[in-house]
Chains A and B, each alone.
Chain A
């Protein structure tokens, strides 16, 4: 498979505090990469570097390079262009304060699409892809904030799908959800694999095992190990990975 994203020697610090040190890894096209690690291991910083959300934090310094389809996202692309191709689903599933329809149509509209018919098509397609269409099709005009937690998270996924990204980043997307909603979100991720490259940061090791093709383990800003899910969980090469997975720390 082709490499979608190549990260070379990536280091990040926030006002002098190291968050990530010399990370090298490649993410393959249309795979789901699970990213696990204890708190403060740098996994969220890593994720936010991939769509340049770290730009918002002025104290953040970054060295190294990230390439998307061979183009350096910090040098050869605008932040908006990067974020359109690499979108993010956040831990707190918070829709924008507007109707369900407007939430999904938000991205395409901002990128200049005003044709009502086309917007309708995109909204329906995105909601279907996020397994939400049947539950909301009769109330697209009601506020997105009235949905249940799981529905809100799937609405957030639909909203990211609507901008037709290439890569979807998930920052602990199920941390606030019950097991059934979590299962639905995971199901959506597996279905989306056909078209998208996905990176899932999670505190739930089992979730990474369930949906990840490969899993990367971060510890204290370092990438300790990255491997096929089954290999990493059964025969980790690094002792620290083994300790984390068996619950000896973290």
Chain B
């Protein structure tokens, strides 16, 4: 009887373990089934490198390059803002701040992570976009830059908490060893602690960027939603995620447009999968 119980419990745990993988595989097939159906209508080349996204025209123009570039610009912008800020923040929390301040800052970072993206979008729309408009003398404040800034603040908490963990877990003996040789605190941080924590830092950056690429709500509110080829970061753009969210409700099931949105989902899936994979590689590099 007891053996039987063991057996059942083991199998249930096994099943739960496989369930995660199963879900990923099912989602992938679901996306692939409708996404790949697009290629009955148009070629992958036209889909990936077409410069015009106009699915309602006749015949429909399905080229995701403007959307892909939109996502890329917003993501790079967000990374440029969030990586230095996040790193500085993590170093300060882990190495420099006194203990009482460390606790407050950590709680603050976690709170930042808990803010819903719609709220960030809301604040961005009412506060940030007028500022961007004013500073750069633009006709509209809803630009790629506005989206980048808002997304940077959504990526920072993820980055900071993982970076801070990996910096704090650098053995104390490295730090003392370096200080005992007469190196200054900053030299120690820069030459010993950051290199020793580098795999965790790279993983944190990757995960932060993954979050930025997948984000939908805030970018939809802030980037201006113009599906044209972007030429500068101060132009309105539209990201891949925002496109799906905005247009899914209006498509006819089974139309070329419908399949195109699924194909975008497939591309996004591929990108986030790749980023997570790279983050994992970075994290486990040290263990080999």
- A contact set with B: CB distance below 8 Å: 51, 53, 56, 58, 80-81, 83-85, 87-88, 90, 92, 94, 96-98, 106-107, 110-111, 156, 159-160, 163
What are 17 A-B pairs at a CB distance below 8 A? A58-B99, A80-B182, A83-B181, A90-B173, A90-B176, A94-B174, A96-B174, A97-B195, A98-B195, A106-B178, A107-B181, A110-B181, A110-B187, A111-B182, A159-B177, A160-B180, A163-B181
Q: Mark B168-204, 1 if CB is under 8 A from A, else 0.
A: 0001011011111111100100011001100000000
Tell me whether B98 is interfacial, beta carbon within 8 Å: yes
Count, A-B residue pairs, CB within 8 A: 64
The residues of B that contact A111 with a CB separation of less than 8 Å are 182
The residues of A that contact B174 with a CB separation of less than 8 Å are 94, 96-97
Are the CB atoms of B181 and A56 closer together than 8 Å? no
**A88 to B180, alpha carbons, bound, how many Å?**
6
Are the CB atoms of A97 and B196 closer together than 8 Å? yes
**A94 to B183, alpha carbons, bound, how many Å?**
17
Residue of A nearest to B174 (CB): A96
Are the CB atoms of A51 and B180 closer together than 8 Å? yes
Are the CB atoms of A110 and B177 closer together than 8 Å? no
Checking A58, A81, A87, A97 against B181 with a beta-carbon cut-off of 8 angstroms, the contacting residue is: A87
Interface size grouping (class) on chain B? 10 to 19
* A94-B173, A110-B191 known, 16 other contacts, Cβ within 8 Å: A51-B180, A53-B176, A58-B99, A80-B182, A83-B179, A84-B181, A85-B182, A87-B182, A88-B180, A90-B177, A96-B178, A97-B196, A106-B181, A159-B181, A163-B181, A163-B182
Checking A87, A88, A90, A96 against B192 with a beta-carbon cut-off of 8 angstroms, the contacting residue is: A96
**A29 to B268, alpha carbons, bound, how many Å?**
69
**A159 to B196, alpha carbons, bound, how many Å?**
18
The residues of B that contact A92 with a CB separation of less than 8 Å are 173
The residues of B that contact A85 with a CB separation of less than 8 Å are 182
